[in-house]
Amino acid sequence: MSQTTVTEEPPRPRPSVRPTTLRRPRLPGWSRGALLLGSAAIGTATGLVAGLESRVQWGLIAALVFVVGGFALTSAVEGRRQAVDRLAASLVWTSFLVAVLPLASLLWETIARGIPGVSWYFLTHSMNGVLSWQDGGGIYHALLGTVQQVLLASVIAIPLGLLTAVYLVEYGSGRLARAITFFVDVMTGIPSIVAGLFILSMWIMMMGFGYSGFAGALALSILMMPIVVRSTEEMLKLVPNELREASLALGVPKWRTILKVVLPTAIGGITTGIMLALARIAGETAPIILLVFGNNMINGNPFEGAQSSLPLFVYEQWAFGTESAYDRAWAAALVLIAFVMILNLAARAVARWKAPKSGR
């Protein structure tokens, strides 16, 4: 940059950058609809002429024509910047649609293929004596297993998780708290199969216990704990400090303040977090394969002998590969997805219902 002249020189006129009018040429409103129809026609025509089997390919060709054609047209009429803006908007919309398609298909397939198989009989009978190619059988044993394993896992994970969160928010400071925070985050990312392998190596291979629902629950509790800690921690942080100080100023000891004031204030959010964690572990399969092993019969004792569980049931039925088994797999998948979704929706309802009414 040369130190030339200029102190109060009036700005050089640059007619090239200044728009002479605020209006700019615009494509008429109907052009987009016309383009859409045109691209659909081109997509269909190309598909017919080239003899493409898949309608998806027709659609892709049409979408490509629409995006590229729109860009060219806007570019020619409205200018490059507008064209880039339009292109970005099209891509954002496309990415949304691209993501919706598989997810909608997943839900649709599960519901459509699952509904015929779900019945009262299906929910109340086990697979005892039913061969893989036979119709019939049910998921009672698996439902029972899932419920027991999830409850056992909660009994372990919830107190530990709550207390850890209390420590982090109310007591913790310094290196220990930072280390715990970091490892809770890292723990969230542990693959479920690794948690399963850990319990396998410790509980079954080293300590010599057998396969059981409880072993599965141990692994599930490892997956559940960090979620409980994280969500509880967030909720406790939202409790205003004035509440704690008011209680302490009345001479209430800290532990009673936490139990009687802090936790009740945050209970709605904490419940939500716990229910979301339950929903997450209820769908876990990998540790169950390693630790609970699977069982076609009803085993009501989670501490002794192999059990089943819903996700494991889905996996086993899929693995049989017969039509009857596939039907059972879809039906069980539908029950599982409904179970998880109901937990989720209930959790969010609790969050809304029990949201701390914060005055200003």
Partner 1 sequence: MGTPATAPRKNTVRLGDRVFSGLSKGSGIALLVIMAAIAVFLTIRAAIAIAHNEGNFLTTFQWDANASPPVFGIAVLLFGTVVSSVIAMTLAVPVAIGIALFISHYAPRRLAGIIGYVVDLLAAVPSIIYGLWGALFLVPHMTGLFDWLDRFFGWTGIFAYDGTPARSLMTVGILLAIMILPIITSVTREVFKQTPKAHEEAALALGATRWEVIRMTVLPFGRSGIISASMLGLGRALGETMAVATVLSPSFLINASLLESGGGTFAQNIASQFKEAGSMGRDALIASGLVLFVLTLLVNGAARLIIARRKEYSGSL
Partner 2 sequence: MAKRIDVTGLTAYYGTHKAIDDISMHVEPMSVTAFIGPSGCGKSTFLRTLNRMHEVTPGGRVEGKVLLDDEDLYGPGVDPVSVRRTVGMVFQRPNPFPTMSIYDNVAAGLRLNGSYRKSELDDIVEKNLRGANLWNEVKDRLNKPGSGLSGGQQQRLCIARATAVEPEVLLMDEPCSALDPISTLAIEDLIGQLKSTFTIVIVTHNMQQAARVSDRTAFFNLAAVGQPGKLIEIGDTDRIFSNPTVRATEDYISGRFG
Judged by CB under 8 A, the chain residues 221 through 240 that form the site for partner 1 are 222, 225, 229
Closest C-alpha among 295, 292, 266, 289 to residue 357: 266
Given the complex with partner 2, which of 78 and 170 has the nearer CB atom?
78
Residue 190 interacts with partner 1 (CB under 8 A): yes or no: yes
CB of 22 to partner 2, least distance (A): 5
Place of tokens 């954002």: 92
Closest C-alpha among 176, 118, 162, 140 to residue 269: 162
26 contact choice in partner 1, partner 2, none (CB below 5 to 8 Å, kind-dependent): partner 2
Given the complex with partner 1, which of 59 and 268 has the nearer CB atom?
59
Q: What one-character DSSP code corresponds to residue 10?
A: P
Residue 209 interacts with partner 1 (CB under 8 A): yes or no: no
Residue 289 interacts with partner 1 (CB under 8 A): yes or no: yes
DSSP codes, 199-222:
HIIIIIIIS----BHHHHHHHHHH
Given the complex with partner 2, which of 14 and 175 has the nearer CB atom?
14
Closest C-alpha among 234, 240, 258, 235 to residue 248: 258
For partner 2, the binding residues (CB under 8 A) are: 1, 6-11, 13-14, 16-19, 21-24, 26, 81
Give the CB-side neighbour count of residue 137, counting CA atoms within 13 A: 25
Residue 143 interacts with partner 1 (CB under 8 A): yes or no: no
Q: Which of residues 152-181 bind partner 1 (CB under 8 A)?
A: 159-161, 163-164, 166-168, 170-172, 176-177, 179-180
218 contact choice in partner 2, partner 1, none (CB below 5 to 8 Å, kind-dependent): none
CB of 36 to partner 2, least distance (A): 23
Given the complex with partner 1, which of 142 and 144 has the nearer CB atom?
142
Would you say 314 and 334 are in contact if contact means Cβ atoms under 8 Å apart?
no
CB of 3 to partner 1, least distance (A): 28
CB of 158 to partner 2, least distance (A): 40
Given the complex with partner 2, which of 8 and 53 has the nearer CB atom?
8
Other CB atoms within 10 A of residue 69 CB: 15
Tell me how far CA of residue 124 lies from CA of 106, 115, 218, 324, in angstroms: 26, 16, 27, 18
Q: What is the dihedral of CA 184, 186, 192, 193, to 10 degrees?
A: -130
Residue 80 interacts with partner 1 (CB under 8 A): yes or no: no
Given the complex with partner 2, which of 14 and 357 has the nearer CB atom?
14
Given the complex with partner 2, which of 8 and 242 has the nearer CB atom?
8
Cβ-based neighbours of 86, under 8 Å, separated by 6 or more: 70, 71, 74
